[in-house]
A and B are shown apart, each in its own frame.
Chain A
Amino acid sequence: KQEVTQIPAALSVPEGENLVLNCSFTDSAIYNLQWFRQDPGKGLTSLLLIQSSQREQTSGRLNASLDKSSGRSTLYIAASQPGDSATYLCALGGTSGSRLTFGEGTQLTVNP
């Protein structure tokens, strides 16, 4: 059974700092990995999708990497802004279908 862990659970940084969020998983038989952000009481916003054959994806100030052999993914946020404050979730898509297995999330606060 796939288990997904996100560290740290919470992170507080000053504006402008570069930061890395971590996601680890136990089963490397994945099809893809997706990073989401969730604002309080809201739905999930898709940030990046990495297929299992890819090593990284970039979108603006965001860069996500995937290392299946070590069971790890990282989300790098450059030049953080207060608007980046949210909970960030990683989700693994397994090979048996569209079911996503989510981590517990990292709650990010960027202080002005």
Chain B
Amino acid sequence: KAGVTQTPRYLIKTRGQQVTLSCSPISGHRSVSWYQQTPGQGLQFLFEYFSETQRNKGNFPGRFSGRQFSNSRSEMNVSTLELGDSALYLCASHRDIYNEQFFGPGTRLTVL
């Protein structure tokens, strides 16, 4: 069974731009969660989507947003990029709440 896929794998943007990251979950999984990983803050929860609805949200500014489509694929968007947004963005796929989470390879975002 195919794992979680994330595209693109690498991105370089400049401050003030916006970016969209994509995540395709494991077939049959309806939940997608997003995390940001940085050397200073570690792994931090961004938000979770289930059946096209945001079910849970972390403590990030409104510049970070997401959505989920009817096929469970999810996108996250970061607007007005800042240098501090440089990070590895990981998405996790799971069947439903409280189930085991499976992570994708991540998207490495560099903001110059």
Contact = CB atoms under 8 A, between A and B. Distances in A.
Interface of B: 4, 6, 31, 33, 35, 42-43, 45, 48, 55-56, 58, 88, 90, 92, 94, 97-106, 108
Nearest to A45: B103
B33 A98 contact: yes
Contact of B42 (A41, A43, A99, A104): A104
Most buried by B among A44, A46, A93, A100: A44
B108 to A, nearest CB: 7
By DSSP majority rule, is chain B's interface helix, strand, loop, or mixed? Answer: strand
A43 B100 contact: no
A47 to B, nearest CB: 10
A46 B101 contact: yes
Contacts of B99: 98
A102 B43 contact: yes
Nearest to A89: B43
Given A31-B98, A32-B98, A97-B97, A43 B104 contact: yes
